[in-house]
Amino acid sequence: MRKTILTLVFLFLIIVVGALVPKSVFAQQYCPDENACLCQQIGYPACCEIEGPGGYNCGGGGGGEQCECGVNAQGNCKPCGGFQCPTPVNCSPAERVMTYDITNIDEDWNPRCPVGTSQSYQCTDYGTDEDGNEVCTDGRAITYGCCPTGTQYQCQVVDTGNNYTIYNSCRNPTRCSEDIDVYLYHYEAPNTVANRCYSGENESGFYWVYNVYTVCRDYQRVCNCVATCNAQAPSTPILTSPVDGASLSTTPVSLNWNAVSSWGLACANQVNSYSVYVGTTNPPIPYTNVGTATNYSFSGALGNTYYWFVRASNGQLYTDSEVRSFTITQGPWWQVKDGDVTANGALGSDVPDGSVFADNGAGGYPGLPVYSDSFNLSSNPAKISTTGWQANSLSFVQRLFNFDYFANLIPQSIVVNPIGDLAGGGVSDENGYEWYRVNGNLDIASSINFGNRKVIVFVENGSLNLAGNINLNDGVGFAGFFVEGGINIDPNMAQVAGPELEGVYLTSGLFSTGAGDSQLHIRGSVASYGGFSLQRDLINDSAAPAELFEYGPDQILLFPNKLAFRQSRWVEVAP
């Protein structure tokens, strides 16, 4: 059985005690009067031929040639006994669907959908029946559907895969019988006596035309009750780091956010995921889908400002976070001046364009970087120094010159001053050196200018914590700190016109510069057997090194002989 618009059929029943009496929802098939022959409207034949109470036969009569309303009625063609076809009732261009909430039966005892369900019917043109109810007037049957609560009536067009052929008469060519079916092609068959159309006369007197057939593709509307779905968007992702407007000196940048509290609801094919949008425009366009991860590592370029936000999507709806920005500045770097750098491992610094790692000293030459593993400036000799000197060589010495080595060289005759006299001065040896020794941590909170004094400090079983500057008169004064633990520099150490620290600093532990945003300038010599932790970052001045180590030749020349390395050579001679 072919379908015309929907697939469900609703049966109307009248419930009467003791009997079932059919009742039509349409008007009786009589013409109401001789002046209003209603052609091709539901409830009436194409031309009324039944005379009933108060009605008339409109099927014949003069006043115009016979033709069918809605098909070929035009000009002065007046079908139905000379009366014009009525104006059709039109609705909006879109198909209208009417849905009612009803209970059990109506006032005419017609059964309806059960309580709590809905009833739907659809058509393109509407009129009213004898009771004033709105009904379809486009020639299509009304199809009702009752759906349970929480569902709704939905239809879709389905291709049955079947073709069918219809014959097109010469006078009234037809199309595929349903508006949802599709026309495939026409073809002609040789004329026969039974099906032929007289077309006119030619030189032979007359001719016949071929019969025309149309092939249509059969489609059907399949309707079902489907669950009602109200799609919900995910909650808003909350960005955590970096903070809005951050200046960062390292790349890649880790972008982080909190997981959404709810992914919402997609009515079909729910796929939860985050997309990270990051770029130099606001709002950013490029994006990367990261699944359900809550972080993303972004490799940006130095000097660029980037904008970013996160989109949470469930496959149907999405929610965006706020838009933040960050700037990637030149990374922190360190520099040596007029001195060598020796590392039994990797050596490197993020030197910006136009600067060098080893700067020239007063003599006009740079020092020599020595490394045994790798040097990240090797691929760009212009950034090493003005000469490009470098040495890939393992440094090896037979003796370890650490705290224990120098502590064992202190002469027993030396007078050790109380550490409390460090700032004011203490007893000097015959060569003018003041000796100090402390067991445990030594904290220097205030700046000390030794001037012309020569000071030697041993910190045993502890660390040296410097919050104050250490200065002296170049070429005359000397400062030497030998530390068994680490040397830690306060990041808030006061800035001075010259170096913040001067002298010789040796530690068997770790040398840490402090995570400050001001430059640390050290003049002299630094040796650390536990490694270096260069923590400073000049966020607002990427052209200057965060740590500057300047060689101080006077400090080497003033190094005390009592702590100098002695090597004896025995030679046997005859008595």
Tell me the DSSP string of 51-70.
--TT----S--SSS----TT
pLDDT at 510: 96
Q: Is the pLDDT of residue 433 over 70?
A: yes
Residues 214 and 263 in one domain: no
Instruction: Clarify whether residues 116 and 28 are in a common domain.
Output: yes
449 within domain boundaries: yes
pLDDT mean over 116-129: 51
d(CA 276, CA 294) in angstroms, rounded, equals 10
How sure is the predictor about 436, in pLDDT bands with cuts at 50, 70 and 90? very high
Mean pLDDT of 69-98: 35
Same domain (yes/no): 521, 557: yes
Average pLDDT, the chain: 74
Q: How far apart are CA 455 and CA 477, in angstroms?
A: 8
Min mean pLDDT across 43-57, 196-210, 484-498, 529-543 is at: 43-57
Range name among 1-15, 337-351, 370-384 with the lowest pLDDT average: 1-15
Summarize pLDDT for 10-29 with one digit per residue, the tens.
222 222 223 222 222 223 33
413 or 68, higher pLDDT: 413
Neighbours of 104 (CB within 10 A): 10
pLDDT at 512: 96
SS3 of residue 562 by DSSP: helix
Inform me whether the pLDDT recorded for 55 exceeds 60: no
Whose CA is closest to 244, among 327, 120, 151?
A: 327
Same domain, residue pair 218 and 282: no
Write the CA distances from 456 to 398, 406, 437, 528, integer angstroms: 25, 11, 8, 17
With contact defined as beta carbons under 8 Å apart, do 422 and 455 qualify? yes
Is 436 found in the same domain as 475? yes
Q: Which residue has the higher pLDDT, 66 or 415?
A: 415
Residue 198 or residue 264, greater confidence: 264
CA–CA separation, 318 and 231 (whole Å): 11
pLDDT of residue 132: 59
Count CB neighbours of 21 within 10 A. Answer: 9
Long-range pairs for 355-363 at CB < 8 Å and ≥24 separation?
355/383, 355/543, 355/545, 356/382, 356/383, 356/384, 356/385, 356/386, 357/383, 357/384, 357/385, 358/384, 358/385, 358/389, 359/335, 359/385, 360/385, 360/386, 361/337, 361/550, 361/551, 362/338, 363/338
Residues 197 and 277 in one domain: no
Residues 6+ apart with CB under 8 A from 58: 31, 34, 37, 47, 48, 49, 80, 81, 83
**pTM of the predicted model, to two decimals?**
0.49
H or E element in which residue 418 lies: none
Does residue 373 fall inside a structural domain?
A: no
- Assess if residue 208 is contained within a domain: yes
How far, in Å, CA of 460 to CA of 482, rounded? 8
Q: Bridge partners of 521? A: 548
CATH of the domain at 254: 2.60.40.10
Same domain, 478 and 519: yes
Is the predicted pLDDT of residue 205 greater than 80, yes or no?
Answer: no
Q: Flag whether 496 is in a domain.
A: yes
At residue 91 the predicted structure's pLDDT band, cuts being 50, 70 and 90, is very low
Q: Which pLDDT score is estimated for 158? A: 79
Structure tokens at 226: 């489907």
Decide which of 114, 149, 184 is a domain's last residue: 149
Helix (H) or strand (E) holding 502: strand 501-507
CA dist 459 and 481 (Å) reads 8
Please check the confidence at residue 126 and state whether its pLDDT lies above 50.
yes
311 in the same domain as 220? no
- Residues 470 and 390: their CA atoms lie apart, in Å, by 31
Residue 32 pLDDT exceeds 60: no
Residues 6+ apart with CB under 8 A from 141: 4, 5, 9
Q: Which of 313, 328, 343 is at the close of a domain?
A: 328
Instruction: Pick the last residue of a domain from 93, 118, 149.
Output: 149
Q: Band of the pLDDT at 331, cuts 50, 70, 90?
A: confident
Question: 161 and 145: one domain?
Answer: no
Going by C-alpha positions, the residue among 521, 522, 546, 552 that lies closest to residue 534 is: 546
Cβ atoms of 407 and 460 closer than 8 Å: yes
Is the peptide bond preceding residue 252 cis, with omega within 30 degrees of 0? Answer: yes
Residue 321's pLDDT band (cuts 50, 70, 90): very high
Q: How confident is the model at residue 570 (pLDDT cuts 50, 70, 90)?
A: low
Task: Determine contact, residues 527/406, Cβ cutoff 8 Å.
Answer: no
List the domain range (segments joined by +) for residue 297: 239-328
378 falls within a domain: no
Q: What's the CA angle centered on 289, arms 319 and 324, to 5 degrees?
A: 55
Residues in the chain: 575
DSSP 8-state secondary structure symbol assigned to residue 265: B
**Do 216 and 247 lie in a common domain?**
no
Q: How far apart are CA 107 and CA 96, in angstroms?
A: 25
Q: Is 391 helix (H, G, I), strand (E, B) or coil?
A: strand
**Per the domain annotation, does 16 fall within a domain?**
yes
Q: Same domain, yes or no, for 222 and 255? A: no
Flag the least confident range among 87-96, 387-396, 472-481, 519-528.
Answer: 87-96
At 220-253, the pLDDT tens digits run 766 666 777 888 999 999 999 999 999 887 778 9
Longest CA–CA span in the chain (Å) reads: 166
pLDDT at 66: 36
Is the Cβ–Cβ distance between 513 and 547 less than 8 Å?
yes
In the DSSP assignment, the letter for residue 259 is: P
Q: Tokens at residue 544, please?
A: 């200057």
Q: Is the pLDDT of residue 395 over 60?
A: yes
| Residue 128: per-residue pLDDT | 63
- The set of residues, in sequence order, having a beta carbon less than 8 Å from that of 166 and lying 6+ positions away, is 174, 176, 177, 213, 214, 216
* Residue 66, both tokens: 């016979």
Which pLDDT score, from 0 to 100, does residue 37 have? 39
Percent of the residues in the chain that have a pLDDT greater than 90, as a whole number: 43
pLDDT number for residue 301: 82
Q: Is the pLDDT of residue 483 over 50?
A: yes
pLDDT value at residue 104: 36
Q: Are residues 469 and 548 in the same domain?
A: yes
Which residue did the predictor score with more confidence, 529 or 190?
A: 529
Report the domain count for the chain: 4
Q: How far apart are CA 341 and CA 359, in angstroms?
A: 12
Q: What is the pLDDT of residue 24?
A: 25
User: Using an 8 Å Cβ cutoff, are 79 and 63 in contact?
Assistant: no
Average pLDDT over residues 296-310: 91
Please indicate whether residue 250 or residue 291 has the higher confidence score (pLDDT). Answer: 291
Q: What percentage of the chain exceeds 70 in pLDDT?
A: 63
Q: Range with the lowest mean pLDDT among 16-20, 165-169, 337-341, 400-404?
A: 16-20
What pLDDT does residue 151 have? 66
Confidence of residue 9 (pLDDT cuts 50, 70, 90): very low
Q: What is the mean pLDDT of residues 81-85?
A: 40
Separation between Cα atoms, residue 377 and residue 359, nearest integer Å: 14
Q: Is the peptide bond before 545 cis (omega within 30 degrees of 0)?
A: no
CB 43 within 8 A of CB 142: no
Among 359, 326, 187, 189, smallest CA distance to 254 is for: 326
> What pLDDT is recorded for position 139?
45
According to DSSP, the residues that pair with 145 across neighbouring strands are 120
Q: Would you tell me how many other CB atoms lie within 10 Å of the CB of residue 475?
A: 13
Rg of the chain in Å (alpha carbons): 50
Contact yes or no for 449/423 (Cβ under 8 A): no
Q: Is residue 571 part of a domain?
A: no
pLDDT > 90? residue 325: yes
Structural domain contains residue 370: no
Lowest mean pLDDT among 110-119, 215-224, 319-328, 343-352: 110-119
